[in-house]
Structure 1
Amino acid sequence: MAIKPNRHELELWAGTLLPTLAETVDVARAIHARGVAQVIVSLGEDGALFVTAQGTWQASLPPVRAASTVGAGDAMVAGVLAGWHAGAGMEETVRLSVAFAACKLQRLGPHLPAQEQVRERAAAVQMQRVA
């Protein structure tokens, strides 16, 4: 099982503001400890947080000019599902997830980006392990 709230949705669940990455990580890890295999938190311009049994990562791309944020969270979930379906490892799944969301930010409506654009973005995703 996986969940993908954005930071605001996670704050609503926690009943408190989560202004720092450390506080966001703590809440995401608490949810993971309750049995959710993957907790993916979209952080807007700060990328996304991924909490799994393998560890915790923050992944991001350089900021993009957003045409619309509508559907970016759904696109992030689509990237996770694409990684799972392809049998990709955790790192590749994270990269796809962030790339799908970033590509969606630059598009209006329900239009998918070209696969090459997704691959280019995925290769540029920066990942760092969160202690």
Structure 2
Amino acid sequence: MIATVTLNPAVDQTVTTEQPLSPGEVIRVDDAQFDAGGKGINVSKYLSEMGTETVATGVVGGFLGRFVTERLAAQGIESRFVDIDGTTRLNSTVLATDGEYKLNQRGPVVSDAEVGAIVERLTSLSPDIVVVAGSLPSGLDTGAIDRLARAGPWETAVDVEGALLRELDAHYAICKPNAPELEAATDRSVDDRESAVAAASSLRETGFDCVIASLGADGAVLVTADDVVHEPAIDCEVVDTVGAGDALLSGVLAARDAGADDAVALHTGVVAATAAVSTPGTDVPPLPEADESGVQPVSNS
């Protein structure tokens, strides 16, 4: 079973307008989409859709926190969140004709004691893998992530900002930076596949068994001590990039959980990420069945 930890979850609001945004102008939209969000939560949503057992954990608070847990329950996703006094944040994405705009709140303060309560949740769940993903809330630093990684016998995967990757001290099974995060974590330029592999190899040597780097139009690379795999991007119309990296990581984890090798796992992740960027919002879009080669990239549950 794969447990996810979202230390700074959110309600993701996505609105679409058929006009550009202009200062001082009132833009009216017909509707808005609201999803339970945060990187770890997104991973659990994709894992569940792919038929992989998962439980979402972390901290929630206030009326937006209740929305998160109620929405996950309605989607059939098990959760074991810790309640806090603050209010879960609201993240807004505006898809306009002149671009994609994002307004992300910082979120509530979270204490070390509440991290300890998450550890207790994880210990009771006994997961095989723990995924710690997303931004850190006020009150916590990377020591909280290291604490979660060291708290049990599970393997830990991490998806956080590049600057935070540099500060981690525990050993991790997987990390998943995008190209800017890979640059920030290694002080190396990432301009193409070769430079991405070199940077990922350098990052892997600092305490990560496997580095999965998403490279946008260049696809993704997966680097371990024994293997380097590249998967090209799939041509599609990009509608909304929010959640693409979460979908990529989820696909890799689901495929590995099913016994797939690294090449199939990365292919699965890129297929899932393609579906994510082709659909607005952070709810899981329809995922494709087996491709022409017979590879089963995902299995809809």
SS in 2 for 1:69: coil
Q: Output the amino acid matched with 2:290.
A: R
* Structure-1 residue corresponding to 2:243: 71
CA 1:20/1:89 → structure 2, altered by over 3 Å: closer, same or farther?
A: closer
Does residue 120 of structure 1 match 2:299?
Answer: no
Give the conservation status (yes or no) of the 8 Å contact 1:65–1:106.
yes
SS in 2 for 1:119: coil
Does residue 82 of structure 1 match 2:219?
Answer: no
The CA RMSD over aligned residues, in Å, is 2.2
Larger radius of gyration: 2
Moved over 4 A (4+): none
Alignment partners' CA distance in 2, 1:76 and 1:62: 13
Alignment partners' CA distance in 1, 2:205 and 2:265: 21
Percent sequence identity is 31
Q: TM-score by structure 2 length?
A: 0.38
* Structure-2 residue corresponding to 1:33: 205
Number of positions where the alignment pairs a residue of Structure 1 with one of Structure 2? 123
Shift of 1:121: 9.0
Q: Output the amino acid matched with 2:175.
A: I
CA 1:48/1:39 → structure 2, altered by over 3 Å: closer, same or farther?
A: same
Give the conservation status (yes or no) of the 8 Å contact 2:188–2:199.
no
Q: Output the amino acid matched with 2:216.
A: G
SS in 2 for 1:110: coil
Higher strand share goes to which structure?
2
Indicate the structure whose relative CO is greater, using CA pairs within 8 Å and at least 6 residues apart: 1
CA 1:94/1:84 → structure 2, altered by over 3 Å: closer, same or farther?
A: same
Give the conservation status (yes or no) of the 8 Å contact 2:221–2:231.
yes
Higher helix share goes to which structure?
1
- Structure 1 gaps of 5+ residues are 126-131
Alignment partners' CA distance in 2, 1:60 and 1:4: 17
- Out of 73, 88, 102, the position equivalent to 2:274 is 102
